[in-house]
Structure 1
Amino acid sequence: MNDDFDFDFDLDELTPADAASEDAVDMFWSGDLTALSHHHSAPNGSHSFVVAHDRSATWGIPGAPEVVAIAVARDLSQFTFTLETSYHASVPFAQNWLAERGCPPERIALLGNNHAKPADDLTLQVEQQIRTSGTRYEVLDTHTSDSDPCETWTLARDSSAGQAPVRVFHEELDHDAGTYTMREGAFADEGAARSWLDDRSGPLPEPPEYSDHDGAVVRARVARTALARSAGSSAMPRAGLDTFRTPPTGPAQRPVQGRLL
């Protein structure tokens, strides 16, 4: 693993349980990963969960996601392991994927203080909503931009929405302030959402539930809870959006959500 990946998978005495796990390990050894957060299960260490930024993705297909979630399960009786991976445009979706595989959400917060910070309470609330959403959102598409504007978006279908079920989660980084915002937009269908993403002709339309009085109270409470939980670790690295770095060559790159400063 490269020097920037400061997490030990502890696989030296184990062999891959299947071809997919073997391929995943080979990819990581040749990749360019920076660990943003991780959790190692206790007491027997049978599971590990990692959120990482894959810098090699910034030189690949334009718009490709740069945040990778990694889940390792070790069978210590058989001396084997399985390794699953999933790429995401933003950190909260990566954390959600890991939570669905058994990782306590509160244990996968960003490490250190060198990440971009959430700009406001609404950002905290939207991120918390994504992290704890279970299988609520079906991701339809994503895009990551390393140039101005430095942003990511995730297009998803909300199975819990009674109105405007297609949602856009838009994340934008403010380099100068060292902060980022996450906003949720609601659309009647995928075509309307893609039209907004293409032309940005108006503000991102708020979900209908945001206008409900009770919904506003709930959002405020969730935002306060998220803010309290984040006091120790600030923000999480965002998929490629919060990792501030100087690229070796090529087009300008952006930091990852919770990107490194």
Structure 2
Amino acid sequence: MNDGLDFAFDFDLDELAPADAASEEAAERFWSGDLTALSQHRTTPNGSHSFVVAHDRSATWGVPGAPQVVAIAVARDLSQFTFTLETSYHATVPFAQNWLVERGCPPERIAQVGDGYVKPADDLTLQVEQQIRESGTRYEVLDAYTSDSDPCETWALARDSRAGQAPVRVFLEEWDYDADTYTMREGAFADVGAARCWLDDRSGPLPEPPEYRNHDGAVGRARVARIALARSAGASVAPKAGLDSPRTPPAGPVQRPVQGRLL
């Protein structure tokens, strides 16, 4: 993993010209020193496509709560010596990975995250992340928020098109920096209003989705066991950047990247 992404080097764009104005603007938008690669994949044999999930540390100084994880997709036309570049910001790494998978990146390739990052705390976290990463267009993200100071967490509010009951979902990532781990949990609500009320007051535990339970009302641990067997497929980093209001600049260099960032 590279600590910063240099487009000219990592993506071999120095010999290529942007194919359109949008790609030119996207390539110029980032300063490489602001980006930390969390996960990346380049196709073989000719390397025509690159897929990257990165943390944009400059977002820390932007709008409080704004997403800090960026998904980057590069396609090169080697016959025309041009490239196209698309970017999309997300609250968490799995949603960024999902965006790249929808653009042709193999999920098992972009799921691999390098060493030196906050790690998933348990198998349920891996399960929920894989569910998001491979969900296709199942989730419509309605809102998100990132906080890199107390509480250190990121949440995404989404509508689940496959849910028969409680279709509004909250995906909550919480970081434990003392343990260098994070958890990801999914909560289910009847509507957006109920989800926002829970996010505002946290008066009780995050309500589990109905599909987590079997006919006896017990949590379906078989799903978790399957995820444990799939650990070799790679675990996401917890990409959480903080959206806190107001945002206070850190006194010194940040040593640990939030959610899936550097430790």
Q: Do these two structures clear the TM 0.5 threshold for a shared fold by scoring above it?
A: yes
How many residue pairs get aligned? The number is 252
Aligned residues: CA RMSD: 2.4
Q: Which residue of 2 aligns with 1:138?
A: 140
Alpha-carbon separation, structure 1, partners of 2:72 and 2:11: 10
Which amino acid in the other structure matches residue 225 of structure 1?
L
1:21-75 Cα distance to aligned partner (Å, 9 max, x none)? 1110111237611111110101111100000000000000000000000000111
Task: Name which of 171, 175, 178 aligns with 1:176.
Answer: 178
Alpha-carbon separation, structure 1, partners of 2:222 and 2:29: 42
Query: Displacement of 1:94 after TM fit?
Result: 0.5
Structure 1 residue ranges, 4+ long, deviating more than 4 angstroms after superposition: 247-250
Q: Which residue of 1 aligns with 2:54?
A: 52
Alpha-carbon separation, structure 2, partners of 1:228 and 1:102: 21
- Secondary structure of 2:259's aligned partner: coil
Which amino acid in the other structure matches residue 198 of structure 2?
W
TM-score by length of 1: 0.89
Identity of aligned residues (%): 76
After superposition, residues 109-120 of structure 1 pair within 5 angstroms as 109-120=111-122
Alpha-carbon separation, structure 2, partners of 1:71 and 1:181: 27
Q: Which residue of 2 aligns with 1:64?
A: 66
Alpha-carbon separation, structure 1, partners of 2:82 and 2:56: 25
Query: Displacement of 1:240 after TM fit?
Result: 2.8
After superposition, residues 1-261 of structure 1 pair within 5 angstroms as 4-5=4-5, 8-29=10-31, 32-212=34-214, 216=220, 218-230=222-234, 235-240=236-241, 249=251, 255-261=257-263
Query: Displacement of 1:258 after TM fit?
Result: 2.0
Question: Bigger shift: 176-185 or 4-13?
Answer: 4-13
Which amino acid in the other structure matches residue 199 of structure 1?
D
Alpha-carbon separation, structure 2, partners of 1:116 and 1:193: 27
* Structure 2 contact 5–33 (Cα < 8 Å) conserved: no
- Secondary structure of 1:103's aligned partner: coil
Structure 2 unaligned blocks of 5 or more: 243-248
Alpha-carbon separation, structure 2, partners of 1:64 and 1:31: 19
* Structure 1 contact 116–235 (Cα < 8 Å) conserved: no
C-alpha distance 30-122 of structure 1, shift in aligned 2 (>3 A): closer
Query: Displacement of 1:92 after TM fit?
Result: 0.5
Which amino acid in the other structure matches residue 220 of structure 1?
V
Query: Displacement of 1:118 after TM fit?
Result: 0.9
TM-score by length of 2: 0.88
C-alpha distance 195-31 of structure 1, shift in aligned 2 (>3 A): farther
Which amino acid in the other structure matches residue 133 of structure 2?
R
Alpha-carbon separation, structure 2, partners of 1:82 and 1:62: 30
Question: Bigger shift: 98-107 or 108-117?
Answer: 108-117
